[in-house]
Amino acid sequence: MKRHRPVSQPAPASSEGRTPGFHAAVAAGLAAAGNSALFAELNGNPLPDRVQVLDSIARLHRVLVGSILPIAGDGASGGPALERELASIEAALADQIHLALPFPPRPANGHDDEGERHAEGHRIARELIGRLPELRECLLRDISAAWRGDPSCPHPIEALYSFPGVFAVTRHRIAHILHEEEVPLLPRLIAEDAHQRTGIDIHPGARIGCEFFIDHGTGVVIGETAVVGNRVRLYQGVTLGARSFPVDDKGRLVKGLARHPIVEDEVTIYASATVLGRVTVGRGSIIGGNVWLTHDVPPHSRVAQAEPLQTGFEDGAGI
């Protein structure tokens, strides 16, 4: 005869469905677990709202492409409606930037007062909005480069409407302005959202010229201190990364060192090539697929893998 194990009975719940003392103990444990010196400097300041930040950036993106790629019912194409939209985006971003300013890595710069942070948030948001015409010009050149560089693209509008590389680079250019202004948190949030959407990972600190085209895009990584010139083309899987990570006398990584490549104008880097360290790829060079590169390359160079060795199998031997 099968025996049934006794089932333990839970403690009686209160009339609100709570077990007396249980949730209080968990809440106390969570509070104690959050008492880390690593986060003590945050002082309980509220974080920017991710949803509101990304919504504002999406609206900004629509403004950038609005007159080129109008959407039915969208007022971001021109006239008074565009002016109202710009003012609304600026106000929304100013509020979120203001919330971000107390957090690292922004250095101490006298904006410790709430009123000063509020004013600084509005100044940075105004700076971003003011640079939209400049971003639009670069976007148009990026779209043109995508159309010229992809034989399967019948018209520039297709590149703007659907290419992940164009999307990721446009979001990067917005994030980079905020990074230049030393806004904490938001540039990386924008970059990682674009990374999640496209598979293209561009750190907001990377400096990228115009007429930049990432073809296919999946797996491309561009590091924080990379410098990319004008009219550069990358293919899927390319990494512009760091070769080493120096540490200080306490064993901690040294932050902010220039450790990523400099890619000069009119360079093409083919699929799955890896370029590491603060090396320079000279103007007009071509780096072949799957190349591993850790040294400088003079202008107008051609770098490729060695020719593959072709052999046969004998007597059932394998590789």
Q: What is the pTM of this model?
A: 0.86
List the chain pLDDT tens, one digit each, 319 residues. Answer: 555 555 555 555 555 566 778 989 998 888 777 666 666 666 678 899 999 999 999 999 999 988 666 655 555 566 888 999 999 999 999 999 999 998 876 655 545 688 999 999 999 999 999 999 999 999 999 999 999 999 999 999 999 999 999 999 999 999 999 999 999 999 999 999 999 999 999 999 999 999 999 999 999 999 999 999 999 999 999 999 999 888 999 889 999 899 999 999 999 999 999 999 999 999 999 999 999 999 999 999 999 988 877 777 676 665 5
Q: Running DSSP on this structure, what letter comes out for residue 110?
A: S
Of 313, 278, 306, 276, whose CA–CA distance to 292 is shortest?
A: 276
**Bridge partners, 213 (sequence order):** 233
Give CA–CA dist 190/135, Å, rounded: 16
Q: Does domain 48-200 have CATH number 1.10.10.10?
A: no
CATH architecture entry for 219-307:
3 Solenoid (2.160)
The segment(s) of the chain belonging to CATH 1.10.3130.10 are 48-200
Tell me if residue 277 falls in helix, strand or coil. coil
Q: What values do phi and psi take at 273, rounded to 5?
A: -75, 150
Q: Running DSSP on this structure, what letter comes out for residue 227?
A: E
The segment(s) of the chain belonging to CATH 2.160.10.10 are 219-307
Residue 225 in tokens: 């201190």
Query: How is the beta sheet containing 262-263 ordered, strand by strand?
Result: 207-208, 227-228, 262-263, 280-281
Place of tokens 């999946």: 218
Place of tokens 């504002």: 56
